Structure 1
Amino acid sequence: MDAATANEDELALDAGPGGRAPQRTCIVTRAVAAPESLIRFVLDPEGVVVPDLRGRLPGRGAWVDARRETVAEAVRRRQFQRAFKGKAKAVPEDLADRVGAGLRADLRQALALANKAGCVVTGFGKVEAAIGGEPGIAALFHAAEASADGRRKLAQALRRRHGDAISRIPVVDDLSEDELDMALGRDHVIHAALVAGVGATGCLARWRRLRSFEGAGTAIEEPGLARDDGGGPPPPEGA
């Protein structure tokens, strides 16, 4: 079998002494990596290439580095046709946009689940109180349309609570007000806070994946705003 068209679902490399860890190869870069750092694509019943963000859909899979530009390159270079050995009847030109939309939907769903678990507070006053209270917050959410004044005041509250460790608290402003409303089941959500608990870790993992896909990263320094530097408080047991 040609290396460029190998079935990536069957690839498993030694993780070293003590066991084996599943690995996958990007059909564009040929780099080998853990599945969580790539995106799996499969063919739907009509033979159209679709993203499988959860890695659960049946059938042969093709794996691509989880970055927008790499997915776009896979489309441009007809890598999916090669990976699926000519069985791909259609590869959407906007496949990278579809992945981005799916990752945003995943983040909204994770936030909704965290909210159902009682791990989200909304409203400027409640968020400010949660920042200063116990146990504190795991992340701060702003609607993309949030005013600079509201952001600045909550950043000041974070600074009072965490001092120079403010960058350990992720600030998420990738979702619009409408998206926050949809996720949390209420109107006019501008500021929200994620507190430690079931669902918090998964929610932030989905945010980081979205940011990575869009090439934005999670370590952005902006005056008056805290951004995640990959640190933060340890996740709670069972989160």
Structure 2
Amino acid sequence: MSRGGQEKDRSEPERRCIATGEVGPKEGLIRLVVSPDSVIVPDLLEKLPGRGLWITATPAAFATARKRGGFHRGAKSPVTVPENLEASVEQGLADRVVHLISLARKAGSAVAGFEKVKDWLAKEQAQVLLQASDGSERGKTKLRPPPGRDSFIGCLTADELGLAFGREHVIHGALAAGGLTKRVVEEAAKLSGMRGKDDGGTARRKGTKNR
């Protein structure tokens, strides 16, 4: 049983956050490892050898782990925690999300541009709406995310979305169902957490409508 008396999903691997001490699905957690020279390094692909340390993808969690010695306890030995660890994790996540969207675009599962996105939304072809965090709010409210959870990603800048779509900058994009979309949503949620987005980066925006 989990906290609150709810049954746990035993099919999902669970990990303990070194900052909060809470145990739960590894979704939303960042894996870190200790390098051969005892330095904490990110393992965003979760493939590096060695003992894994898991931490919630928020600046607050990293601050807590630093303050309370969570990294040392998790590693069970003295370790060096780089000053730029949080920045390195954030940049690595951004690069990963951009790369995944780029792969989705090449596979025909992603489009960019207001009119194309609007058309996909109207045809119910889009599962996730992408919008640049630094785009015009007035312009962004003209499009509404598809119904359901995890249907909106707003943690990337226009330049980052531009890289994903092979353009100088992009404000509006969309992802179709299937393919890489689930992975994009999962990684974007972590990035959003590191960037302090209240909606988690994949929450449906309310109060908007298509025009």
Q: Structure 1 length normalisation: TM-score?
A: 0.71
Tell me which amino acid in the other structure corresponds to 1:24: R
Tell me which amino acid in the other structure corresponds to 1:117: A
Q: 1:175 maps to what in 2? A: 156
Computing the radius of gyration from Cα coordinates, the structure with the larger value is 1
3-state SS of 2:130 partner: strand
Cα pair 2:153 2:185 within 8 Å, conserved: no
Cα pair 1:67 1:215 within 8 Å, conserved: no
Q: 1:193 to 1:34 in 2, by over 3 A?
A: closer
3-state SS of 1:93 partner: coil
Cα pair 1:151 1:225 within 8 Å, conserved: no
Shift of 1:61: 1.9
Q: Residues 109-159 of structure 1: CA distance to partner in whole angstroms, max 9, x if unpaired? A: 2211211211111112211122212x421111122232233213223xx6x
Report 1:24-103 matches (<5 A).
Answer: 24-88=15-79, 90-103=80-93
3-state SS of 1:97 partner: helix
Structure 2 unaligned segments of length 5 or more: list them: 1-6
Q: Residues 47-97 of structure 1: CA distance to partner in whole angstroms, max 9, x if unpaired? A: 211121222111122222333211221122222223334342x21133223
Range with greater deviation from structure 2 (209-218 or 199-208): 209-218
Structure 1 unaligned segments of length 5 or more: list them: 1-15, 227-239
Find out whether 1:216 has 2:206 as its counterpart. Answer: no
Range with greater deviation from structure 2 (188-197 or 29-38): 29-38
Tell me which amino acid in the other structure corresponds to 1:209: K
Q: 1:50 to 1:136 in 2, by over 3 A?
A: same
Q: 1:37 to 1:168 in 2, by over 3 A?
A: closer
Aligned length, in residue pairs: 201
3-state SS of 1:64 partner: strand
Cα pair 1:171 1:225 within 8 Å, conserved: no
Q: 1:105 to 1:225 in 2, by over 3 A?
A: farther
Percent of aligned positions that are identical: 36
Q: 1:44 to 1:222 in 2, by over 3 A?
A: same
Q: 2:4 maps to what in 1? A: none
Tell me which amino acid in the other structure corresponds to 1:96: E
* Aligned-partner Cα distance in 1 for 2:156–2:206: 18
Q: 1:184 maps to what in 2? A: 165
* Aligned-partner Cα distance in 2 for 1:68–1:38: 12
Shift of 1:168: 5.0
Q: Structure 2 length normalisation: TM-score?
A: 0.79
Cα pair 1:47 1:87 within 8 Å, conserved: yes
Q: 1:25 to 1:142 in 2, by over 3 A?
A: closer
From 177, 187, 194, give the equivalent of 2:175. 194
Cα pair 1:71 1:96 within 8 Å, conserved: yes
Query: Greater helix share, 1 or 2?
Result: 1
* Aligned-partner Cα distance in 1 for 2:116–2:12: 44
